[in-house]
Chains A and B, each alone.
Chain A
Amino acid sequence: MIDCQYLEPTTVSEACTLLAEHGDDAKVVAGGQSMAILLRNGLIQPSHLISIQHVSGLEDIVASDEGVKIGAKVTLDRLIGIGETHPTLRALDDVINELADQQIRNFATLGGAICEAHPASDITVVLSTLNASVKLASAGGERVVSMCDFVTGAFATAAQSDELLTEVVVPSFDLGSAAAAHRRFVLRAGDYPVVGVGAFVSLDGSGGCQDARIVVGNCSSAPAHAQEAETRLKGHSIVGNNGAIAEAGELAASHVAPSSDPMAPSEYKIDLVNVLTREALAEAVARATG
């Protein structure tokens, strides 16, 4: 059996000092909803568990000029229906309201879900779609990393071993002309999706697409931008143009190479990318024009 110490800092600064001291051999525990499984199955054997349960200041949701800032310890349960209070986060409702189950949402934290970096995570996909970034604190200071750069692979992130994720920032955008949506396909309620796709569009005054972001989940080791589909849409007519949306779906699907797994064969996932990209885009356009 592993020899493991349990540390309970009460401030971010204390947590960072402990991380700097124990680094690679330490793991941060927030809600424990993924960590408990990894520990129990011996998949990780840290010498130190640093519980941030009693670290204060990581549980706020604040709207500012920068956007909406969400503390790392905000539970998924608290994010249910967040789009009603903070309309720029409406795409999160597409994800969180059906994510896992009540028991898990009660304790799973947003920061924990991001740092787990599960390749099928809808949360990292939708946050990448919203162009969110994360704040990482360490004894040396603070840095901001965009969500797209933060998840570097399956269960791998850009966080250094002495860094603590403290906050997620979702930038503002003009609700009158831009919107995001997320669509997912699940086989069993509460499970990870077979495929998830997030879409963000911002429109010009004449129904054209100024900017587009399409992010595909669970078809590679980390959320991936469907760049060809994004390029196809930018600068072109999109409102009422089902042809353009269909083409974007085809383009997104033709550039993924998911592996087959017990949930679905590769070809099926590729079809899903096409369908879900179209659905997410159509919904994003509807929201932006609605």
Chain B
Amino acid sequence: MKYPLSLTVNDENYDILVEPYHTLMEAIRDGIGLTGTKCACEDGRCGTCTVLIDGQLVKSCLMLGLQAKGKSLLTIEGMGSPDELHPLQAAFLEHGAVQCGYCTPGMLLTAKQLLDENPNPTEEDIRSAFVGNLCRCGVYTHATEAILNVAGEEE
């Protein structure tokens, strides 16, 4: 049976209906229609479905939608817009940290959370942060440069 789920995504309130076994990723993509949160491995390995929930990183395929009741989410759609890119988005573009682009939404949210908590990360900090985000194109070096660049500029 479906249950009501009220949550805030990118500062907008949503009221949808979900089955108890629906994941948060399904709630975001199918229930709300925000498809920037990508769906790939669906068993918690790849991190492409990463979003922020009350400021904490989560792989949205590993949480049930109903567990996010009343919470506030940030997805890639809330990070920046085509006209006004988030500094990390701009830096990813500038440094070529995007190839196929499928992992990018998750990587950007991980990068944002890293800088929110640690404005001056070392290269090692960045590598550790990306343990949960797989990129098969291998843009890690470029992404690391991009993040270091943004951290440097904000100093």
Contacts and interface: CB of A to CB of B under 8 A. Distances in A.
Given A103-B47, A190-B131, A4 B21 contact: yes
A37 B44 contact: yes
A100 B132 contact: yes
Contact of B57 (A33, A35, A40, A103): A103
B73 to A, nearest CB: 14
Contacts of B43: 37, 41
Nearest to B49: A103
Interface residues of B: mostly helix, strand, loop or mixed? Answer: mixed
A39 B21 contact: yes
Given A3-B1, A5-B1, A104 B67 contact: no
Given A106-B58, A107-B58, A6 B66 contact: yes
Contacts of A1: 19
Contacts of B110: 102-103
Interface residues on B, range: 20 to 34
Interface string B53-69: 00011110111101100
A32 B20 CA distance: 12
B50 interface: yes
Contacts of A190: 131-132
B62 A36 contact: yes
B145 interface: no
A53 interface: yes
Q: Which 9 A-B pairs have the closest CB atoms?
A: A101-B132, A6-B20, A39-B21, A101-B131, A103-B132, A103-B57, A103-B59, A190-B131, A4-B20
Given A33-B62, A104-B44, A107-B63, 4 more contacts: A6-B20, A36-B62, A40-B61, A49-B20
20 contacts: A32-B64, A32-B67, A36-B62, A37-B44, A39-B64, A40-B23, A49-B21, A49-B64, A51-B66, A51-B67, A53-B67, A100-B132, A101-B131, A102-B132, A103-B57, A103-B62, A103-B132, A104-B59, A107-B62, A189-B131
